[in-house]
Structure 1
Amino acid sequence: MKAFLKKLKKNPYMIAGLIITGLIVLMVIVGLFWMPYEPTKMNASEKLQGISVKHIMGTDNMGRDVFSRVMYGSRITLLIALGTVTIGVVLGTIIGALTGYFGGILDEVVMRIIDAMFAFPSILLALVIVSVFGTGWAQLLMSLGIAFIPSYARIVRGEVLRCKGMDYVESARLQGVSQFRMIFVHILPNIKGVLASSILIGFNNAVLAEAGLSYLGVGSQPPYASLGKMLSDAQQYMFTVPSYCLCPGIVIVLIVLGFSFLGEGIRRWK
């Protein structure tokens, strides 16, 4: 523990990342058990109110408490981002590890498909998939997850190609270790540092992609909220009730900033 704290003190990026993400996660956890108001409850008499003691982030155009909706929307945004990265990492790692290790025709065919997917920006690719499966948070999660597979497949493939010629792999091969054990026990654990940093970067990208697609109306549907959907609803009131737009926007910035600091902290961890 002392060694960990000593390293932590020398890593301001990790400290900043832990503080910011810790506060966001704490808000989400508290929101599971308590919220100031029901996030979907409307009150016509309290529409578009500014920041006050009663509503610390004001109210929206339907009289709903913005802070309660930010707590709920942060949960939706983080869950979609987590699911997106999980799908991308699991499937991308399997694809990248197998193609990188075995090579040959498997590598050629799969990587050409990956290259074709890379020709489309992830948000555009997700929009195409959403147009087939429909709108909603589940469809958005699946669409973004599929769109994130190519980036992780390429990262893992490159690392496997780098590692499979190293001495410890040759030694394991001479001992008769099976190929799948070689990949998943000997090679993949040695690329965990690169993969961890890539996961945090991917999480940031997933948060921004979810916010962007929800802003366009293909994510969570009314009356439920996500941070991107809240920004879309608030844009026309930007100058009349700034808190309505600024609060979800600031939370998105903090989420991205926190995980960016964590990624840089992991990269600098020694």
Structure 2
Amino acid sequence: MNILKKIFKKNKATGQRNTFLIMGTFITGIIVLLVIAGIFYTPYDPTKMDSSAKLQGISLKHIMGTDHMGRDVFSRVLYGSRVTLAIATSTIIIGAGIGTIIGAFTGYFGGIVDEVIMRIIDAMLAFPSILLALVFVSLFGTGTYQVAIALGISFIPSFARIVRGEILRCKNMDYVEVARLQGVSDLRIIFVHILPNTVGVLMSTIMIGFNNAVLAEAGLSFLGIGAQPPYASLGNMLSDAQSYLFTQPSYVLSIGVTIVLTVLGFSFLSEGIKRWE
């Protein structure tokens, strides 16, 4: 309840509520709740085909219609969203986890190691993350786990660069100097004194990372090199649906709108966190 009060409270300076944070929490919350609910219950078996119910429109029986194999689209969207968000979560755990450690140590200690690692990261950042992911997918192969690892590695440079910048900004501040004079170890200074003061920036970056990970996974699966059957993700579902854009638009739009809302929710959360009082 205290978190909800903070989300909805007005800014003392402007007298306005954080609209982006409210909208992001609302949209993302609904999607996450639906995905969690889909773990325990779906109206139909997402993999069950029914040749007599192919490409049916929206109805009370099938609220998002059926696909070209007679499967319930709503049930598959719930299942596909779970796979997509699971890959996105794994991507952020790998990218943010390793990137934060690299950025923290290189920023705090500096030296030749910092210079070498940052030049490597700069070279990686020169390429779009989706292109880097394609390179790593070619090394690891296609599949759900391989895509999560490939995307995670491709996201490391952006997190490392941002965390390093925050460490450089904070490491010579008074509270850090006091900690050094008290004999506090470097590791404790990094992880107890400095990193907690970068939570706002890091959380905003993580939300943007989720946004990009969802889009990247959808793109890779759309191209057929992401999640593979029998796994359904939003990307490979959209790939299957594109041929029926004009004959059964509800089939395509239901998947497309889910992707857009998911990305929009995380984007609003990122902007809202930046404006957090």
Instruction: Give your verdict on TM over 0.5.
Output: yes
RMSD: 1.3
Q: Deviation digits for residues 223-260 of structure 1, max 9, x if unmatched? A: 32100111100111000000111101101111111111
Question: 1:72, 1:6 → 2: CA distance?
Answer: 35
1:85 pairs with one of 64, 88, 92: 92
Deviates more, 1:191-200 or 1:13-22: 13-22
Question: 2:39, 2:239 → 1: CA distance?
Answer: 24
Q: Which residue of 2 aligns with 1:68?
A: 75
**Residues 83 and 231 of structure 2 are in contact (CA less than 8 Å); yes or no, is this contact kept in structure 1?**
no
Q: Which residue of 1 aligns with 2:140?
A: 133
1:223 correspondence with 2:230: yes
1:19 pairs with one of 18, 23, 26: 26
Q: Which residue of 2 aligns with 1:40?
A: 47
Q: Which residue of 1 aligns with 2:158?
A: 151
1:30 pairs with one of 29, 32, 37: 37
Q: Which residue of 1 aligns with 2:126?
A: 119
How far does residue 222 in structure 1 lie from its aligned partner after superposition? 1.6
2:108 pairs with one of 93, 101, 110: 101
Q: Which residue of 1 aligns with 2:185?
A: 178
Sequence identity, in percent? 71
Question: 1:226, 1:170 → 2: CA distance?
Answer: 49
How far does residue 155 in structure 1 lie from its aligned partner after superposition? 0.1
Q: Which residue of 2 aligns with 1:6?
A: 9
Question: 2:72, 2:226 → 1: CA distance?
Answer: 21
> Which amino acid counterpart does residue 47 of structure 1 have in structure 2?
K
Question: 1:173, 1:7 → 2: CA distance?
Answer: 38
Report how many aligned residue pairs link the two structures.
Answer: 270
TM-score, reference length from structure 2: 0.94
Q: Which residue of 1 aligns with 2:261?
A: 254
**Residues 7 and 269 of structure 1 are in contact (CA less than 8 Å); yes or no, is this contact kept in structure 2?**
no
Q: Secondary structure of the residue that 1:204 maps to in structure 2?
A: helix
> Which amino acid counterpart does residue 200 of structure 1 have in structure 2?
M
Question: 1:221, 1:89 → 2: CA distance?
Answer: 25
Question: 1:70, 1:189 → 2: CA distance?
Answer: 37
Question: 2:223, 2:258 → 1: CA distance?
Answer: 19
Q: Which residue of 1 aligns with 2:251?
A: 244
Q: Secondary structure of the residue that 1:221 maps to in structure 2?
A: coil
Q: Secondary structure of the residue that 2:107 maps to in structure 1?
A: helix
**Residues 201 and 260 of structure 1 are in contact (CA less than 8 Å); yes or no, is this contact kept in structure 2?**
yes
Q: Which segments of 5 or more consecutive residues in structure 2 lack a partner in the other structure?
A: none
Question: 2:225, 2:142 → 1: CA distance?
Answer: 5
TM-score, reference length from structure 1: 0.97
Question: 2:230, 2:187 → 1: CA distance?
Answer: 47
Question: 1:64, 1:102 → 2: CA distance?
Answer: 56
How far does residue 96 in structure 1 lie from its aligned partner after superposition? 0.2
Question: 2:164, 2:230 → 1: CA distance?
Answer: 42
Question: 1:118, 1:169 → 2: CA distance?
Answer: 30
How far does residue 3 in structure 1 lie from its aligned partner after superposition? 6.0
Q: Deviation digits for residues 129-158 of structure 1, max 9, x if unmatched? A: 111111111000000000000000000001
Q: Deviation digits for residues 164-218 of structure 1, max 9, x if unmatched? A: 1111111111111111111111111111111011110111011110111110111
**Residues 40 and 224 of structure 1 are in contact (CA less than 8 Å); yes or no, is this contact kept in structure 2?**
no
